[in-house]
C-alpha cells in the first residue's frame, strides 16, 4: 500500500471513510497519490479544472489556502495523507524543505481527522485535513461535538483543529511543524480499527 498525499474536492470523504481509502489505494484515481506534497496539491486529476500553482515567492506557495476556489479550479479542497507516522512526518519535512510552511483556510478553520488501518504487515494512518465549515459543512461550535465519528468503531476519529495550534479562535492555518510534532504523533501506536 503506497504512502503519500492526495488533494480532493469530494466532501463525502469526511462522511464516508471508504471513499478516502479508495482514493489513496488507487481505486478512484490510480495516478493521484503522490509522495511529494507539491505534486499532490497541483496534480491535474481527471476531473480537475484549471489548477493554478503560485510562484514560489508568493505567500500562497508557502501557505496554500484550501478555501481559495480560484486556485483550485472553482472548488474547495481537502488533503488526504496516507502512511505510517514516520513516513508522513518525513514527507512533511521534505515539503518544508521545498518551501511549504503549512495550510490555510480563509474564513474557516481546518480540522484534522484520522483512521488507522492495516496495510500488509504495517498499520498506517489515513489523515484528512479539511476546512471545517466550507468543505465538511460542520457547524461553527466545537467540531468534536458536531462531527465526531468516535462513537462508531469504523469511522474517522478527531485528531485536532487549527485554532488549537495558536489558541486563537481566528487562526485559520496549520503549520507543517505543528502537524509533524503535535498532531501526527497522536496516531502512533494506536491499533488499527479499519
DSSP secondary structure string for all residues of 121-173: TEEEEEEEEEETTTTT---SS-HHHHS-GGGSTTS-EEEEEHHHHHT-TT--E
Evaluate whether 129 touches 118 at the Cβ level (below 8 Å).
no
Q: Is residue 154 part of a domain?
A: yes
Which DSSP helix (H) or strand (E) runs through 110?
strand 110-119
Residue 154: what pLDDT? 66
Evaluate whether 85 touches 67 at the Cβ level (below 8 Å).
no
Q: Is residue 194 part of a domain?
A: no
Q: Is residue 172 part of a domain?
A: yes
Q: Is residue 31 part of a domain?
A: yes
Q: Helix, strand or coil for residue 189?
A: coil
Is the pLDDT at 147 greater than 50? The verdict is no
Band (pLDDT 50/70/90 cuts) for residue 161 is low
Evaluate whether 49 touches 60 at the Cβ level (below 8 Å).
no
DSSP code for 180: I
Residue 149: what pLDDT? 43
Q: Is residue 193 part of a domain?
A: no
Q: Helix, strand or coil for residue 109?
A: coil
Is the pLDDT at 108 greater than 50? The verdict is yes
Burial class (CB in 10 A: 0-12, 13-18, 19+), 129: buried
Band (pLDDT 50/70/90 cuts) for residue 93 is very high
Q: Is residue 192 part of a domain?
A: no
Q: Which domain holds residue 108?
A: 4-187
Query: How large is the average pLDDT for residues 53-73?
Result: 84
Alpha carbons within 13 A on the beta-carbon side of 99:
11
Greater confidence (191 vs 72) lies with 191
Q: Which three cell numbers stand for residue 167?
A: 489558541
CA 82, 84, 90 angle in degrees (round to 5)? 90
Query: How large is the average pLDDT for residues 41-57?
Result: 72
Greater confidence (77 vs 155) lies with 77
> Per the confidence metrics, is the pTM higher than 0.85?
yes
Residue 142: what pLDDT? 47
Q: Is residue 32 part of a domain?
A: yes
Per the structure, the count of domains in the chain is 1
Residue 49: what pLDDT? 57
Query: How large is the average pLDDT for residues 171-185?
Result: 86
* Backbone Cα Rg of the chain: 15
Is the pLDDT at 45 greater than 80? The verdict is no
Residue 96: what pLDDT? 94
Strand order in the sheet with 122-131: 4-8, 78-83, 122-131, 110-119, 157-161
Amino acid at each position: 500500500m503506497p504512502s503519500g498525499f492526495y488533494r480532493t474536492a469530494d466532501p463525502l470523504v469526511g462522511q464516508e471513510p471508504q471513499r478516502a481509502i479508495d482514493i489513496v489505494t488507487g481505486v478512484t484515481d490510480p495516478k493521484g497519490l503522490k509522495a511529494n506534497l507539491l505534486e499532490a496539491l497541483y496534480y491535474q486529476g481527471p476531473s480537475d479544472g484549471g489548477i493554478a500553482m503560485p510562484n514560489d515567492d508568493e505567500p500562497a506557495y508557502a501557505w496554500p489556502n484550501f478555501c481559495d476556489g480560484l486556485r483550485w479550479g472553482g472548488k474547495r479542497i481537502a488533503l488526504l495523507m496516507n502512511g505510517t507516522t514516520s513516513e508522513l512526518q518525513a514527507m512533511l519535512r521534505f515539503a518544508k524543505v521545498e518551501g511549504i510552511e503549512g495550510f490555510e483556510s480563509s474564513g474557516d478553520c481546518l480540522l484534522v481527522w484520522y483512521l488507522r488501518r492495516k496495510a500488509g504487515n504495517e498499520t498506517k494512518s489515513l489523515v484528512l485535513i479539511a476546512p471545517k465549515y466550507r468543505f465538511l459543512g460542520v457547524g461553527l461550535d466545537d467540531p468534536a461535538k458536531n462531527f465526531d465519528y468516535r462513537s462508531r468503531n469504523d469511522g474517522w476519529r478527531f485528531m485536532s483543529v487549527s485554532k488549537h495550534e495558536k489558541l486563537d479562535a481566528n487562526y485559520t492555518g496549520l503549520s507543517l511543524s505543528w502537524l509533524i510534532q503535535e498532531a501526527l504523533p497522536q496516531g502512533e501506536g494506536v491499533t488499527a480499527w479499519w
